[in-house]
Amino acid sequence: MGGDPELEMPFEDNVEGLTSTEAAARLEKYGRNELPEKTTPGWKIFLKGLWGPMAFALWVAIVIEFALQNWPDAAILLGIQLGNATIGWYETTKAGDAVAALKGALKPIATVFRDGKWQEIDTALVVPGDKVKLAAGSAVAADSTINAEPGKDYVPQVDIDEAALTGESLPVTMTPGTHMAKMGSNVVRGEVSGTVQYTGAETVFGKTALLLQSVEADLGNIHYVLMKIMYGLTGVSLILCVIVFIYLLAHEGESFKMTIEFTVVLLVVSIPIAIEIVVTTTLALGSKELSNKKVIVTRLAAIEMMAGVNMLCSDKTGTLTQNKMQIQQNCPTFLEGEDLKSTLVYSALAAKWREPPRDALDTMVLGSADLELCDTYTQLDYKPFDPRIKRTEATLTGPDGARFKVTKGAPNIVLDLCVNKAEIEDRLNTIITELGTRGIRCLAVAKTFETDNDWKMIGVLTFLDPPRPDTKATIAEARKYGVGVKMITGDHLLIAKEMGRMLDLGDAIETAENLPQFPASGDPKDIPNTLAEEYGEFIASLDGFAQVHPEHKYLIVETLRQGGFVVAMTGDGVNDAPALKRADVGIAVEGSTDAARAAADMVLTEPGLSVIVDAMLIARGVFQRMQSFLTYRIAATLQLVFFFFIAVFALSPSDYNAMVAGHEDETRFFHFPVLMFMLITLLNDGTLMAIGYDNVRPRKLPQKWNLPVMFSVSAVLAGVACASSLLLLWMALDSVKDYSNSVFHAVGLPAQDYQHIVTMIYLKVSISDFLTLFSARTQSSPFFSYRPSLVLFVGAILSLTISTVVAAVWPDSSPDNIPCIGLSRLSDGQTESTAQRLMPLYIWLYCIFWWLVQDACKVGWCALMKKYDILSYTSNLEPSTPLKGISIGAGPSGKSRTFSEHNGETVPY
């Protein structure tokens, strides 16, 4: 493979490193090693809120009002537009600050050689000319060239994954003078030293950063859900408004000015302008809630995806286990005179014993070996751990000047090197099998004697990586909440089975032998979309996989995803990174490598898996808040637009002698002044900002969008609210036409006039809107199932109070030439009436009665859908074919469980 064309090297290979003084001077000269992050100024965020499909509709209404010289209404609409933009600016800025603060907690670390020793520093402090370590599992801190190793009998090389920069799926092998390792790429194999050539904005990544940064907030799957809802509601509203426009203009003979003003304003208030703002705010608040559980969210959309996770694939080492190996006293040796102490020394010699440990095995060995004795040896060469050959190797000279090699790694790999393999193979296999059945791992150590190929086994270190204290309970808890757990490890099959038994995970564990194979091209794009058909049931029925390579992890995740599962993958190493990236939600556990954290959507900053169950429940709560809000917003829109649509055709004031003298054109059909429309919109949207703080009860099962169900429930809520509003309008108009035979007369209420009817319906619609919110928030359960949060409750009470006061004391006036007066006021010629003064109270009682009916209808409709699986109410929860019916994996009993068998709950809504 060719090198980088025109490779520029401002700095020669730095083998000595820098001093702290030199580094400080260069930091001052070149600046911090940080990407040029594009930040959108607040004024641009504000202006952005004034543009877009929703804002455009409002601009049309504003222009029309100005053209018709309706200055007050135009000013009100303009105020609404600016108010929405202001709210959007505030919430977007606040959400961005919250996510930025959480990301700031993830500080990448670079290993540099300064002041004569290797040390770990903040990547931002790396400077040009620094000597850096490029080792498997770490991210490249800055554009760096590979250092040559004069006098060595090999050419240093390292494999770099540049997929994030170039889209090249295969790692690039880099050697001195041929390539530059670029910032943003990851080391996948090998270990070399390099010299930093460029930092920050001068790197290749820095120069293209503006192309890589997204201006839009990444809303992922929820973005498409919002688009469907917004375009669906706008489409319905537009059709109804056009019909009303034609009817009023052609049939009723209304003026063009009056007709266009009414229909445009009705269309504007029916459009869910603040829908994206509320959803983004809810997700950002969810990320803050997750941060309290030590989970850092690097992609907001991952919260919504986490709510739907029904399969958790977990790496074993460091995730299910403590990743803190404990050396056992039992150390089988194969050469006379060797014991545990000498075997530990040889294993330490196969590492960089005076540098920070590169992995858990080095940590264990270097923490137990006699490093002072190691210092009597000189290391001439070192080959770091390669996940493919599964061993490390070093070349040394001893105190006596003798040159030899030493290696440590997987017993079966090291055994294949040994010249006395035939003599020791049976004994070694017996030892491995016996220890494996007890969950004890082995690390073989060998050295050369006469020649470089004259390998002989020294001994076998035995150690135990015990499971984390909370792992067993976490797996049980995950299954309780409808999430299957599968262990995926490169470890030996016997060890994996023993761990499965210890954790009650199950022992249906297989090796990679029967798993799908990666395409020969090595390109993920060539992976067939038939994996689920060929391997789906086999993979879904197992509890785990052993002796797998990184590509197997990737293919396991891909197969499950093709089978309809929403997959979360946890891991900590560079070998987990591809699967983390491919999973719906990639989770890097505490202590993960830079590569794993870069590939993940969420990063745990606390040991153990228990926080993942917490994260799932929090995510489900966030999902429910979004679902409650969207259900309400759909219902509110449908209620409003259908009420006026039906009222225009069926409840004309002229048919009830309710038209007002001097205002015949304005009172020929029933409608509100623009100000009342806008008050309803403003107060509703303002209160909905608090939905992100609402109390929820996370569902026991993974959540999944079912828009037909959501629209049907919204239609039930809207239908009851709309019908009760139309009934009230009919009763009020009927009291004008024939009071003595009217319902109002029968219940002791005074006859109404058009002025009072306008404010009466305004109050009814306002109260119904807010009460609908409290019904929608509990979804399929009654409204009293659990209390709302204090923030939401206070916001709603404040808005209801404002609406009630406005409706009660509205002055006798004619905004938009529509006569209206407060319900507690007396119109001209009306006699003193206590009942009229108390009319707001009666409207409240009327609304509460119909709210109870509305909530009962909602609960009944949901129960009906659940019983007969209407609109795929329950079956929507199960994965799609071909894996339907295999959802949460097999437990210890080996029996697969489906959602319908799990806890008796199949509620998706």
- Examine the residue annotation and report whether 315 is marked as an active-site residue of this protein: yes
Residue that the structure tokens 């808005």 belong to = 799
| Number of neighbouring beta carbons within 10 Å of residue 215 | 9
Amino acid at site 829: G
**Selection from 316, 737, 807, 784 nearest residue 547 by Cα:** 316
Helix ranges (DSSP H) in 248-339: 256-270, 275-291, 301-307
Using alpha carbons, select from 862, 854, 861 the residue that is nearest to residue 639.
854
Biggest CA–CA distance in the chain, Å, is 120
Are residues 275 and 226 in contact, defined by beta-carbon separation less than 8 angstroms?
Answer: yes
Exposed e or buried b per residue across 685-709, where buried means at least 16 C-beta atoms within 10 angstroms of its C-beta: bbbbbbbbbbebebbbbbbbbbeeb
Collect all residues with Cβ–Cβ distance below 8 Å to 765 and sequence separation of at least 6. Answer: 639, 640, 643, 680, 725
Q: How many CA atoms lie within 13 A of 880 on its CB side?
A: 9
DSSP type of residue 702: -
Give the integer Cα–Cα distance in Å for 102 and 239: 45
Decide if 889 contacts 540 (C-beta within 8 A): yes
Single-letter amino acid, residue 564: G
- Check 13, 130, 161, 315 and give the catalytic one: 315
Quick check: helix, strand or coil at residue 436? helix
How many residues are recorded in the chain? 909
Determine the residue type at 236.
Answer: V
Distance CA 787, CA 378 (A): 70
Q: Which of 157, 160, 159 is nearest to 148 (CA)?
A: 157
Cα first-last separation, the chain: 54
Helix or strand (DSSP H, E) at 440: none
Phi-psi region at 522: left, alpha or beta (left = phi > 0; alpha = psi -120 to 50) = left
Q: Which two tokens stand for residue 659?
A: 């038209």
Residue type at 300?
A: L
Q: Do 53 and 230 meet the contact criterion of CB atoms below 8 Å apart?
A: yes
Active site residues: 315
